Amino acid sequence: MLLALLWPALWNGFPIVFYDTGGYLMRMFERELGFGRSAIYGAFLAAGIPLRLWPNVVAQTALVAWLAAIVLRVHGFGGRPALVAGIVAGLCALTGLPWYAAQLMPDIFLPGSSLLKS
């Protein structure tokens, strides 16, 4: 699943950089908060600098794979690794999911925060 989700970054030779990735990263080096820029995500990015940000994008894609498994478990299809792998492969082939998951941006956390407000 991780390779299917990581293929755009692997093809690019580097994780996909979103236009404001640097804004998040600079929070750690400027030591000030920026409007709409998470210092926590900046710290997460800074930790991956020694390995060219690959640990960050691998962690993000692992989170996407984990979320897919959790969704299946909630709907009564848990404990079926082949099913979740097939669904993730299908999503990678038919949607923009791998391009989204391979970008260095914190937006993956947005849907969960909107659920908490409900």
50 Cα distance to chain centroid = 19
Structure confidence at residue 78 (pLDDT) = 87
**Predicted pLDDT of residue 21:** 87
Q: Residue 24 has which token pair? A: 């998040």
pLDDT (tens digit per residue) in 8-44? 999 999 999 988 888 888 888 888 777 777 788 888 9
Burial of 38: CB neighbours in 10 Å, binned 0-12, 13-18, 19+: middle
**Is the pLDDT confidence value at 90 over 80?**
yes
Interior angle at CA 60, CA 59 and CA 65, nearest 5: 95
pTM for this model (two decimals): 0.84
pLDDT at residue 113 is higher than 90: no
pLDDT of residue 48: 95
Residue 68: domain span: 2-117
Domain count, the chain: 1
